[in-house]
Structure 1
Amino acid sequence: MKKIFILIYFCLFCYGILCAQDAKKMVVYDEKQGMNQWHITKMLQDRMGFIWISSWDGLTRFDGYEFVTFKSRPGDDSPLENNRVRDIQLAANGDIYCLVDDRWFLFSQSKGTFINISDDENEKLNKVKTKNRLRLTKRKKVQKMGRKMVDRQGNVWFCTPDSIVKTINYRKPAVPFVLRSSDQARYFFVDRSGNYWVSTQKDKSVSIYNRGNKLLGYLTPTGEISKKYVPFSTAVYAIYQHNDGCIYLGTKPGGLYKLKSRKKDFEVQHISLGNDKANSIYDIKADRVGRLWFATFDGIYCLHEGRVEHVRQTKGWKVRCLHFTQRDILMAATTTGLAVGRLSNKTIGDMKFHLHCREPKRVESLGNSATMDILETADHQIYVSTESAGVDKILSHDLLADQLEFKHFDKTMGLQCETITAMAPYRKDWIWVVGGYTLMMLNTKTGEVRNYGTGFFHDQYRYSDARPVCLPDGRWLFGLQNGAFCLSESELSKPGTEQRVVFTGISVEHAPMQYAVAHLRSLTLNKHQRNLRISFSTLDFSDIEAPCYAFRLHEGDKWIFIGKEHTVTLPDMQPGDYELQVRSANSAGVWTPGIATLRIHVTPKFSETIWAVILYIFLSLATIFTLLYIYLYIRRIKRKQHEVLEAYLALLEDKNGVGQEVTKEREESEQIVSTEEDDQMMKRIMQFVDEHLSDAEIGIVEMAEAAAISRSGLNRKMKKIVGLTPAEFLRETRIKRAQQFLLGTSKGVSEIAYICGFADPKYFGKIFRSMTGVSPTEFRQNGGKADK
């Protein structure tokens, strides 16, 4: 009899576990998770939410991600003689009192250091400790004092001899939908009578339920409704009810089945679309004139008046979904792109589609060519789900354009999963987005995303391709790879846990992380510090799954979604002021208002300040003005030198008197240059040149002797006065004299060359052309006009 009672109790206990939605989970923290000391003396939670643990290895802080230990280290000027922390108490200002052996110290959270306290304060803390111990002794709870704790979320923490155990109480919001076996849910459908149909893949079942969620039975291949499980002919992948009330089942690879309702069962008619690929039907839709269209793995087929037609262009296409717009535009999601075509009165087989694929160099193109589902909202916005690029919203108004523009919703926009298998409309402005391991909601107006993952369901789900459907009782039915579950809207409307993000660590220029930053509100980086890494946490110890985070650097900027990553790295920051804001999503997928803010000032180098810019502008202007002055000065000097040269050459021409009258002014020895010494030297040179111009043998040495100056001095003086070397001056003089003879006499070119000191007439012609641009003969013919 005793064994029978035990068996009955065990069965009732198991039944209670299976039916109950409330559950518990235990999490163990030991050395593998970062605990560095098993001898724990006490635990407490401070006002910000950190868990503090005292042990014989110092004071440890836990933020939900890592354990950080504060203790005395060599050379750190800590007053602690050892790290045996036997007790901890929370101070009024949020700091932690630590009892090390028989002496109390204060741990400052803002500085991350231990501080000595007065003897009076130490004695007061000892009295409080003794009083608490006596009180707990009467209640026989001395052994449990400090070794068990309940945090703000209601989680129970207690110490074991070698670890810390956290017990989380939670409630599963989803109710399992009982299927015959743990099989993949393929399709959900609610007919016009309010019954809903559920098809599965491997066991090929089609189960039918009434409005009261009672199983009516299983659809048999002959159309009967069996109370016992009977598989259908093949797995059903699509269900559609036509205007005439007939229900069509698209199967894989059995083709199409038409069900005509009778009193208690259905009349079944099998229709083959063609080959095995054509008989793999993934979706069924009807246009406004009643023609049925089928998405198959051999393209698009149409059934009208008992005749099956194939759209020839789509042959070989693997089509997963079909959608008709109000303007008779047919859209098809295929594995190679999004096909768009207009219905016409022409032959169905000749219908043309434009296939939109991913374009690598165009951001506005489709995110991924492999498309899964198409959804049009009540306000006629069209969304396309992709195999690995999230959801794309069509922005183009003309769906028949050669190029469509898309807006992408992916992980950068907040989606936790980018493999989107199905979509369904939810409430106004919201749609369901079903991913591989995550259920999401997208707001079509604001772009807000809510992720419902393990933290919300307290379970790990792997979703199937089945579109979610709203059941007659208002619950939503979701398909899984191993079953299905129901979710009521009341669970979605619950606010979830309130979270506030707290900064937990800061590393500057790749230095070791500084952890005493929870109270930090502003940070200044010097001119050599440009790299920053910041960690944070929500301090919510109830979450089974880590929350999602987003950050931005300025108020009003677009949020940058970083998923479950709880650190932000800011490399090579530019000088200026920043306002780092971090927010998180709670277990209900809602972004909470508890935003952590840190003002950051990056000090600029001098080269990056406005004063440096002003200095650079001033130096640039000064350089420009200096170069301009030098340029103008050189031009002035060269002009003056040219004028002096022309004056002396003119003086030489006047003295020569070839074809010209000698004026009284030039006969007088007027001073041409600024100094009398230079003028006298030039006159001696001019006299020497005038006397020896026809002598081809004279050179610089003879000129220097005539001017009574050294060769180098002559060269320097003449460059200064006329801008030419003595050799250049002699050549210039000879060419000027030759021009006079060419214009003023009828002598031949060779004779003039010899008279002007050129030993070779050909060399004379070459030099003359190089200086005037024409030959001597052309110069005479042109009347003295030169090209140069």
Structure 2
Amino acid sequence: MRRLLAFILIAVLSGMGLRAADEVRIMTFDEGDGFAESRVSCIIQDRAGIIWFSTWDGLYRYDGYRLRNYKARPGDNCPLEANRIDYIRELADGNILCRVRSDYFVFNRTSRKFTPYTGPRSAHDVRYMPDEATQRMVAAMPRYAGISVRILYKDRQGGIWVYSMLGLDRISFVSKPISNRKATDAPQEEVRGLMEDSKGRLWVADKNGYVRIVGRDGRLAGYLDASGSLRPAPVLFGHSVYCIREDSRGTVWMGAKGSGLFRLTPSDKGFAVDRYVANNPIDGDLNHNDIYSIVEDSYGRMWIGTYGGGLNVATVGPGGRVTFANSGNGLPPVHEGDVEIHRLAITPGGVLLVGTNTGLYTARIERNTAAMKFHANRRDPADATSLSNNRVTDIVQARSGNIFVSTYGGGLCRIMSTNLLSDTITFRPYTTDSGLASDVVMSVTEDKQGRLWLVSGASLSCFVPSTGVITNFKRSMFSGGFVFSEARPLCMADGRLVMGTTQGILEFNPAELKKSSYVPPIVVDCGSRVELGPNEKSLSIEMAALDYNKNEQIEYAYKLDGVDETWNYTTDSHIRYANIPAGKYLLHIKSTNGDGIWTDNERTIEIHRTPAFNERPMAWMLYGGLLLVALYAIFKVAAYIRRLQRELSDIKMTTGEKVEYALLKHGERHVPGQGAPEADVERERDDAWSAKVWAYMERNMANAELTVDSFAQDMGMSRSVFYLNMKRVFGVTPNNFMQEARIAYAKELLRAHSGNISEVAYKCGFSDPKYFSRCFKKATGMTPSEYC
């Protein structure tokens, strides 16, 4: 919706009855928002909070984001005779009753279709009537001067809906933005140094080289010139001052970028200025000219944090002479290499904390600075309790005693350890996941109520440590076109906060930054339960937090139980999920209101996705059964193939043995005169060998892996000799011998009823009972079962 800034009025118009801190905002709906230039006849707000308005071009729905138009279109079977709707109201079932001329129709919110209305028609046209005060207030606005205006509705957030020849407007009343204040006409006035001195005066230093002092009463005390005098008109100090500190003696110390350190001693004309620059650190001079932070210890020494040279300790000696201790003349270095220091802090217990670009360093302050030992704490990616980011931008110890460390990119960290002199300090982080506006926290300060104010480039975050509540203040709360600078904010003695910006200072009382406590209801384009079919694995839900007075973009958080481990944060008003597993889930949705405050408006939606057949347990059981059947079939086929291979091998061996026997037989020689004694000796030898063969066969009768080769090897013969002896002694080949021996043994077992046919087959060396049955029938003419 187009915001008409030309018609945003400061609420000082007489008779309007608005607070001085309020202003009027007018929002106009036009074709760019999807609203045709059509006459508006009636407006209502339903129980859910959605705005509906009837026009001469159909029915419109508005949820703070989108305008939706519903009307009759060619060929859609809509019963509306015309799209001019003269009156609407909500029915008890939540649907919208529409009057078209003298006929009534119902717009069904679920089907988004019109149907004829058949219910009672008494007292339908009860329209909103504005009171006289509202009419006078609208009539007094310059936008509507001299034209006819119809005030159609006042919604629950106080918004007034007006229709005129200028179109459809919504008038709302919002807090007036807080403005910055510049001291000069320079295009940019980036404030980097702020301090409240012991006299209650505000010191403001900017990068243009001005240093001005404002009295407790708000009047300008003067501009500081290079000599230390205070001038009533803008005059350059001439250096870009980044930090200002008043010590316990009333002396003011100022650190500048590139210009070293300045010591201002009060005098009759203002201040006597002494300047210290980097020269010869070994001889007690400053070691770097970029100075970002200054603090004082209990010994009255000033600790100087430089951006590149590490630490310097300034000691004021007799006669006001200042000497510096640093890593070049005895002060232990914070760590090896150049150190870029952003901020220093000293606890009441005397522990120095050093915030740098490479982590947080701590040491106990000793009178003899050479005896100090620094401890380093840096980010450990594997440890959630380590420092969240190594670039430390600020350090503050709250009145509660808790110490907070801000980082550039890691949000805010609270130190949880009681021992600060350790390399393993534990931290608790607060980031955008906790509700911060940004993880880039440039500085932080504590106000009179114990709240921490965190400064980011384009926003402020107010953090209440005791409750963990975070309130964000973004651009809409401020005017002036600035961003915040890295200057540490000031909490003045009277409770005011002063912030440095790129366009001067921003000064306000925290009570002036008012946030809406409105809790917007969340509406979605589905019911409280969503059913998804087996093939519907994706989900898209359109949602809207109904806050029509939004000053900021509404943020949403959503989480689907069983799918998301943490909340998802977004400013998109759509939720999308893909590849949702089958099952039942609960979707949680919550949001901020229009002022960026997280509210207790969580809504839940039940989501049930019916599993496809292949996602059901029965399917997996069936698949498992089929797999087992397939494996069994593969096993049986493999066994059958092995049996065929064995039979083929037996056939090949028998043929080979016959050939070998023929060759051996052909090579035999008859020895004339061979007598009977030699024959007897040969017969005895054959009998002994026969007994040995039978004994071996009996021992290996059940061995299904017995082969001719292994048989011959165990007999101590070659295959050919073994074959020849088997033919000569037994008259059969080795394979036939083993087969006949096994069949003979099977007969004995079957006659003795020693087990069933399968058991007999295994005892006789057959690995397949079916193969055994075929061999038995071939040898005996009957099956094993017929034999026994």
Same fold (TM over 0.5): yes
Select 1:423's aligned residue among 429, 433, 444.
444
Select 2:212's aligned residue among 199, 202, 206.
206
Select 2:161's aligned residue among 157, 177, 201.
157
Displacement of 1:437 after TM fit? 0.8
Displacement of 1:466 after TM fit? 2.0
Counterpart of 1:249 in structure 2 is: 254
RMSD value over aligned CA atoms?
5.1
- State yes or no: 1:501 paired with 2:512: no
Distance in 1 between residues matched to 2:596 and 2:287, nearest whole Å: 40
Displacement of 1:432 after TM fit? 1.4
- Going from structure 1 to structure 2, the CA distance change for 1:92 and 1:32 (only over 3 Å counts) comes to same
Select 1:185's aligned residue among 185, 191, 196.
191
- Going from structure 1 to structure 2, the CA distance change for 1:551 and 1:591 (only over 3 Å counts) comes to same
- State yes or no: 1:564 paired with 2:571: yes
Distance in 1 between residues matched to 2:462 and 2:716, nearest whole Å: 102
Distance in 2 between residues matched to 1:357 and 1:107, nearest whole Å: 62
Counterpart of 1:550 in structure 2 is: 557
User: SS of 2:493's equivalent?
Assistant: coil
- Going from structure 1 to structure 2, the CA distance change for 1:500 and 1:25 (only over 3 Å counts) comes to closer
Counterpart of 1:272 in structure 2 is: 277
Further displaced range: 41-50 or 63-72: 41-50
- Going from structure 1 to structure 2, the CA distance change for 1:330 and 1:474 (only over 3 Å counts) comes to closer
Further displaced range: 318-327 or 143-152: 143-152
Select 2:711's aligned residue among 716, 736, 759.
736
Spell out the pairing of 1:640-659 with structure 2 (5 A cutoff).
658=686
Spell out the pairing of 1:332-347 with structure 2 (5 A cutoff).
332-334=354-356, 336-343=357-364
Counterpart of 1:283 in structure 2 is: 293
- How many residues of Structure 1 are paired with residues of Structure 2 in the alignment? 651
Further displaced range: 308-317 or 583-592: 308-317
The code of the aligned residue for 1:107 comes to F
- State yes or no: 1:590 paired with 2:600: no
Further displaced range: 344-353 or 284-293: 344-353
Select 1:432's aligned residue among 450, 453, 470.
453
Task: Encode CA deviations 1:737-767: one digit per residue, 9 max, x unaligned.
Answer: 565466xxxxxx8995795599xxxxxxxxx
Counterpart of 2:323 in structure 1 is: 307
Counterpart of 2:750 in structure 1 is: none
User: SS of 1:412's equivalent?
Assistant: helix
Counterpart of 2:46 in structure 1 is: 46
Contact persistence 1:38–1:162 (CA under 8 A) = no
Contact persistence 1:41–1:55 (CA under 8 A) = yes
- State yes or no: 1:23 paired with 2:51: no
User: SS of 2:511's equivalent?
Assistant: helix
Further displaced range: 395-404 or 442-451: 395-404
Further displaced range: 396-405 or 149-158: 396-405
- State yes or no: 1:234 paired with 2:230: no
Displacement of 1:363 after TM fit? 6.6
Counterpart of 2:114 in structure 1 is: 114
The code of the aligned residue for 1:324 comes to I
- Going from structure 1 to structure 2, the CA distance change for 1:438 and 1:105 (only over 3 Å counts) comes to same
The code of the aligned residue for 1:185 comes to V
Contact persistence 2:540–2:576 (CA under 8 A) = yes
Counterpart of 1:660 in structure 2 is: 688
Displacement of 1:396 after TM fit? 6.5
Contact persistence 1:413–1:560 (CA under 8 A) = no
Contact persistence 2:24–2:172 (CA under 8 A) = yes
Counterpart of 1:652 in structure 2 is: none
Contact persistence 1:737–1:756 (CA under 8 A) = no
Displacement of 1:116 after TM fit? 0.7
Counterpart of 1:472 in structure 2 is: 493
Instruction: Please give the TM-score of this superposition, normalised by the length of structure 1.
Output: 0.69
User: SS of 2:86's equivalent?
Assistant: strand
- Going from structure 1 to structure 2, the CA distance change for 1:13 and 1:620 (only over 3 Å counts) comes to closer
Displacement of 1:445 after TM fit? 5.5
- % of aligned pairs identical? 27
- Going from structure 1 to structure 2, the CA distance change for 1:169 and 1:338 (only over 3 Å counts) comes to same
Task: Encode CA deviations 1:442-474: one digit per residue, 9 max, x unaligned.
Answer: 344665432112454577652121222222222
Structure 2, gaps ≥5 residues long: 1-9, 131-135, 140-146, 281-285, 317-321, 647-682, 728-788
Displacement of 1:77 after TM fit? 4.2
Distance in 1 between residues matched to 2:487 and 2:610, nearest whole Å: 55
Further displaced range: 475-484 or 457-466: 457-466
Spell out the pairing of 1:134-145 with structure 2 (5 A cutoff).
none
Contact persistence 2:179–2:480 (CA under 8 A) = no
Spell out the pairing of 1:308-457 with structure 2 (5 A cutoff).
308-312=324-328, 313=333, 316-325=338-347, 329-334=351-356, 336-343=357-364, 367-378=388-399, 381-393=402-414, 407-426=428-447, 430-444=451-465, 447-457=468-478
Displacement of 1:84 after TM fit? 2.8
Instruction: Please give the TM-score of this superposition, normalised by the length of structure 2.
Output: 0.69
Contact persistence 2:39–2:56 (CA under 8 A) = yes
Counterpart of 1:168 in structure 2 is: 172
Task: Encode CA deviations 1:755-787: one digit per residue, 9 max, x unaligned.
Answer: 5599xxxxxxxxxxxxxxxxxxxxxxxxxxxxx
Displacement of 1:68 after TM fit? 1.2
The code of the aligned residue for 2:254 comes to L
Task: Encode CA deviations 1:326-356: one digit per residue, 9 max, x unaligned.
Answer: 665544333x422525357698689776766
User: SS of 1:192's equivalent?
Assistant: coil
The code of the aligned residue for 1:80 comes to L
Distance in 2 between residues matched to 1:385 and 1:429, nearest whole Å: 17
The code of the aligned residue for 1:106 comes to V
Contact persistence 1:177–1:484 (CA under 8 A) = yes
Contact persistence 1:311–1:348 (CA under 8 A) = no
The code of the aligned residue for 1:736 comes to F
Displacement of 1:637 after TM fit? 14
Counterpart of 2:744 in structure 1 is: none
Displacement of 1:434 after TM fit? 0.8
Distance in 2 between residues matched to 1:55 and 1:277, nearest whole Å: 76
Distance in 2 between residues matched to 1:388 and 1:297, nearest whole Å: 19
Distance in 1 between residues matched to 2:524 and 2:479, nearest whole Å: 26
Counterpart of 2:740 in structure 1 is: none
Counterpart of 1:644 in structure 2 is: none
Distance in 1 between residues matched to 2:615 and 2:239, nearest whole Å: 72
Contact persistence 1:475–1:488 (CA under 8 A) = yes
- Going from structure 1 to structure 2, the CA distance change for 1:285 and 1:738 (only over 3 Å counts) comes to closer
The code of the aligned residue for 1:157 comes to W
Displacement of 1:365 after TM fit? 6.1
Distance in 2 between residues matched to 1:750 and 1:522, nearest whole Å: 82
Displacement of 1:360 after TM fit? 6.9
- Going from structure 1 to structure 2, the CA distance change for 1:154 and 1:737 (only over 3 Å counts) comes to closer
Displacement of 1:549 after TM fit? 2.2
Task: Encode CA deviations 1:583-606: one digit per residue, 9 max, x unaligned.
Answer: 222355432222222222222233
Distance in 2 between residues matched to 1:31 and 1:60, nearest whole Å: 13
Displacement of 1:395 after TM fit? 5.8
Spell out the pairing of 1:509-548 with structure 2 (5 A cutoff).
517=526, 520-548=527-555
Contact persistence 2:291–2:304 (CA under 8 A) = yes
Spell out the pairing of 1:20-99 with structure 2 (5 A cutoff).
20-73=20-73, 76-99=76-99
Spell out the pairing of 1:481-500 with structure 2 (5 A cutoff).
481-491=502-512, 496-500=516-520
Counterpart of 2:673 in structure 1 is: none
Counterpart of 1:607 in structure 2 is: 614
Displacement of 1:187 after TM fit? 2.6
Task: Encode CA deviations 1:290-332: one digit per residue, 9 max, x unaligned.
Answer: 3212222332222124212333557654322223356655443
Distance in 1 between residues matched to 2:484 and 2:564, nearest whole Å: 34
Contact persistence 1:311–1:351 (CA under 8 A) = no
